[in-house]
Amino acid sequence: MRLAAIFLSILLVGGLLGVAATPSHAAAPDQAASLTAQGETGIVAVIKAERLNVRRAPRVKGASLGLLLRESSVPLIGRNRLATWLEAVTPFGIGWIDARWVSTNASILNLPITDDQVLPFATVTTSALVYVRRGPAVEYAIVDRLRIGDEVDVIGLHSKNTHVQIVTPRGREGWVVLEAVRVEGNLLELPFSDLTTTPLAKINTFRLRVRQLPSEAAPVLGTARLGISYDIVGVSPDGLWLEITGNFGRGWVLRGFVIVIGNLGQFGLDH
């Protein structure tokens, strides 16, 4: 019943408000409050701030999912233990809003406490610039940057306890080294997401021919160069060839001439 009510709320709120659920846009004001779907609790919050962040977790520095405008209304489904944050069904999905900036049609103390499933978070503790990378190794591209004091949501762990997968304040997913952050919260239910992160093939020879098929007799598509890392998207049944992507498109290289960064378990191989 709870899941059905939440799903119906998302459909009605998103559809009736006509809002694109993207973090970079504000939600439109509610023009028909009587048609706004209420959550299972029947308690609705009306936004009193000019713009109010919907956050991934009940913290001021939690990643923002989007913005609600003044007088828009959202159904509430829970709260944290101190009743300072409210869990709501919004056009951006289920998220948390600051209780100081809303009015409600009933006491928020009647809401169930739902913050026990909130994601753990990490705070940057180093003074240097911290790079957020697409994968858990320096060979992966940088997707964002963090500075000391920045707080990020933790969504995954590294199986060897070297990195954590995070969502940055700008909503970008990536990896940071564990030694650069202080992690707080319950990590027990987080996945070892490095096991499913796209692995890389770092070329270990001056020039490596990329072939159309996993065979030395297959046509050459291009050349992979020494020290460059390419996404691995496939492995041949015998494990001797890796399918990679690059400016040549998709092609195959001999595994013996590359260093594998990451895990090949998703392709049925240990490494």
- For 121-195, CATH gives 2.30.30.40
pLDDT > 50? residue 5: no
Is the pLDDT confidence value at 119 over 90? no
pLDDT at 155 over 90: yes
Mean pLDDT throughout 45-65?
A: 91
Angstrom distance (rounded) from CA 54 to CA 128: 29
13-17, 38-42, 143-147: which range is least confident on average?
13-17
pLDDT value of residue 117: 73
Query: What is the per-residue pLDDT for 212?
Result: 98
Domain 2-117 has CATH 2.30.30.40: yes
The C-alpha atoms of residue 132 and residue 150 are separated, in whole angstroms, by 12
Say which CATH class 200-267 falls into. mainly beta
Computed on alpha carbons and rounded to an integer, the radius of gyration of the chain in Å comes to 23
Query: So where are the chain's domains?
Result: 2-117, 121-195, 200-267
Structure confidence at residue 271 as a pLDDT band (50, 70, 90): low
Reported as a pLDDT band with limits 50, 70 and 90, residue 16 is very low
pLDDT band at 270 (very low <50, low <70, confident <90, very high): low
Confirm whether 2-117 and 121-195 share one CATH topology.
yes
Decide: pTM greater than 0.85: no
